[in-house]
Structure 1
Amino acid sequence: MSNAVANGLAGAGAGIIAQIITYPLQTVNTRQQTERVAKKVAPSRLASSTLLQILQVIRSEGWGGLYSGLKPSLFGTAASQGIYYYFYQVFKNKAEAIATANRVKGRGDGTVGIFAWIIVAAFAGSLNVLLTNPIWVLVTRMQTHTQAERKIMEAKKEALLKEASERNLIGSPTFQDGLAKLNAMKPLPYGTLHAAHEVYKEAGITGFWKGIIPTLIMVCNPSIQFMIYETSLKHLRAKRAENKQGLKTVTALEVFLLGALAKLGATVATYPLLVVKSRLQAKQEIGGNISLRYSGTFDAIVKMIRYEGLPGFYKGMSTKIVQSVFAASVLFMVKEELVKAYLVLAGKNRKVLQK
């Protein structure tokens, strides 16, 4: 098995573990990002904290509400991490081979520069985005479905109340019957196939690539993340090599901390793009009115600035930082351990074959 395949499989396994651990935070964060509230709307309508929102979801939807869309998300995580790490390793090997060849020719010291790491991560990230975007569209729909249905139901009640008020029917049997029917309505079962049908019905096959522009731009997120991670890891390993009496290998805890540092920097830099992407991928009825619905990336940016101001681009960022930093730290730590385990097993198998 090549090191690219080993890294791909390790990345997929680590990604699944990190996703399961942090998924409730991810669900709440997506709902925070897609909550469209104009400047004139009272802040009291918003959840005051992540913990409060988690409790609200559990109370209204049960524990299952925190794991809406988990199955396609796990599949997407495995596919994304596998694809990303596979191509990242392929491009990394190529970059290292070029650096080595340049050293032989008298150009450079044989190490891969920071700019090269950015290019490697960007290529791997672009391929990952193009291949897996449909999965994340479905996950976003499933995470925000209950939220969207609640908005639609509120709009229907407001319309009923307005009509009854105009016709002086408030308190009448007709009004009470209509209101009772609306209150009795329960959300229909909503799974992956339902989400896929809804997306296709709304926008055809292109609907599965909604948010692709900000997502492709966000390729710089893992680029920044891996640049910080690889540079920090390389520096730490060099220090360990110089310290003959100390530890020679990087521990799992140190990898965890390096992963946290890398993801923190990348998340803060690219969060506004993540909010725009989530809003484009969510059901547009969640906006409540046409002024808060988006036809594309540019339209979303303009309307968010106009109706919500710059703070709208940073909704739920504190939740995202906790979720993404912890998930990335777990991912890096588990991935490195899985790769180490593979190398140990591969070494033992070679010895057995040589005997």
Structure 2
Amino acid sequence: MSNSNAVANGLAGAGGGIIAQIITYPLQTVNTRQQTERIAKKGSSHPPKRPAPPPASSALLQILQVIKTEGWGGLYSGLKPSLFGTAASQGIYYYFYQVFKNKAEAIAVARKHKGRGDGTVGMFSWLLVAALAGSLNVLLTNPIWVLVTRMQTHTQAERKIMEGKKEALMRESSESPTGSTLPEKLAELDSIKPRPYGTWHAACEVYSEAGVTGFWKGIIPTLIMVCNPSIQFMIYESSLKHLRGKRAASKQGLKTVSALEVFLLGALAKLGATVSTYPLLVVKSRLQAKQEIGGNISLRYSGTIDAIIKMIRYEGLPGFYKGMSTKIVQSVFAASVLFMLKEELVKVYTVLAVKSQKLLSNVIN
């Protein structure tokens, strides 16, 4: 029954994750671009030579800007591998989460029989369960998210590379004037419009830059970020347990939790986890995006420590919180939808499983 429970949670997590991903994907694309945008702080010792353009004042304006310059495809660049990654991540995570949760609950019951504890899983155990499931998920699915990040930020990176080429042409022209060829060359560069590229192209680019290890770029901050779902599920499970306990203690004796309440608990849990771990998410996105941007060493990172040092040096602490408001809206809403759908899908799966067992027993008898 425990394995069946794990499978139900795995399938429900995958299904809910896919739906939540489709709904919030444009916000995710804009947020990834915000995270990977490099803007030097005032007084930086080695600021980028190219002045960064001012970002749009809101996520909505940025979405409209992407639609105007790249079409709807720009907002949904990387959607296919992202959906596959979401299904794989949620399925793997919820399956192993339920497996470890069942073991943790069994250990808690065994401890109660020995006179230790009250038979319930403690907060530290919830953290450990979520961390183990998250670590396995990260190690297995990181290559998918490297490709998704590349595809989401490809047009942004290409645009900056193009700006670098324009600057190089203008410098060459000032050093050795070439007449009317400069405007023609600049017009030629302007005519090249970057467009989202495919999964295979992204995979080839990653492999050509760093080989097989390139698919595990950002693995260190991603593994550290396992604490995000750990914190999220600690808040969620503790709140759910408290709410169910209050319902059980009430005169009505109702233990069921409504879909709206699960939605709100999911939002609260994700909000707390996102705010506390957002800087790691920015570092991960920077590492997974194309590094050769504008030919400036301050924009390229050789690893996690190098990224952190350069971000502090050139951008300051605000660099670690770029796009956080967009991320909060996207992740909180996605997590709320996911939790709500997952609980409902598990109920449907359980009802169908019970009915199929009854039907099978009737046929046998």
TM-score, normalised relative to structure 2: 0.94
Equivalent in the alignment of 2:248: 241
Instruction: Render the CA deviation track for 1:133-183: whole Å, top value 9, x for unaligned.
Output: 0000000000000000000000001110111111133xx222222222212
The partner residue of 1:211 within 197, 214, 218 is 218
Cα distance change on mapping 1:43 and 1:294 into 2, 3 Å: closer
Equivalent in the alignment of 1:62: 71
| Cα distance in 2 for residues equivalent to 1:66 and 1:260 | 24
1:13 aligns with 2:9: no
Equivalent in the alignment of 1:294: 301
Cα distance change on mapping 1:288 and 1:320 into 2, 3 Å: farther
Equivalent in the alignment of 1:38: 40
Aligned 8 A contact 2:38 2:52 in 1: no
Cα distance change on mapping 1:254 and 1:189 into 2, 3 Å: closer
Letter of the structure 2 residue corresponding to residue 157 of structure 1: K
* Cα drift, residue 246 of structure 1: 6.6
SS of match in other structure, 1:2: helix
Q: 1:246-265 to 2 correspondence within 5 Å?
A: 247-265=254-272
SS of match in other structure, 2:194: coil
SS of match in other structure, 2:88: helix
* Cα drift, residue 64 of structure 1: 1.3
Gaps of 5+ in 1: none
Letter of the structure 2 residue corresponding to residue 104 of structure 1: H
Equivalent in the alignment of 2:109: 100
Equivalent in the alignment of 1:141: 150
Letter of the structure 1 residue corresponding to residue 306 of structure 2: D
Letter of the structure 2 residue corresponding to residue 158 of structure 1: E
Equivalent in the alignment of 1:194: 201
Aligned 8 A contact 2:155 2:195 in 1: no
Q: Percent identity?
A: 83
Q: 1:1-355 to 2 correspondence within 5 Å?
A: 2-40=4-42, 45-169=54-178, 172-187=179-194, 190-245=197-252, 247-286=254-293, 289-355=296-362
Cα distance change on mapping 1:44 and 1:188 into 2, 3 Å: closer
| Cα distance in 1 for residues equivalent to 2:317 and 2:225 | 18
TM-score, normalised relative to structure 1: 0.96
Letter of the structure 2 residue corresponding to residue 117 of structure 1: W
Would you say how many aligned residue pairs link Structure 1 and Structure 2? 353
| Cα distance in 1 for residues equivalent to 2:295 and 2:253 | 61
Instruction: Render the CA deviation track for 1:217-264: whole Å, top value 9, x for unaligned.
Output: 000000000000000001111111112327431000000000000000
Aligned 8 A contact 1:8 1:85 in 2: yes
Cα distance change on mapping 1:287 and 1:166 into 2, 3 Å: closer
Gaps of 5+ in 2: none
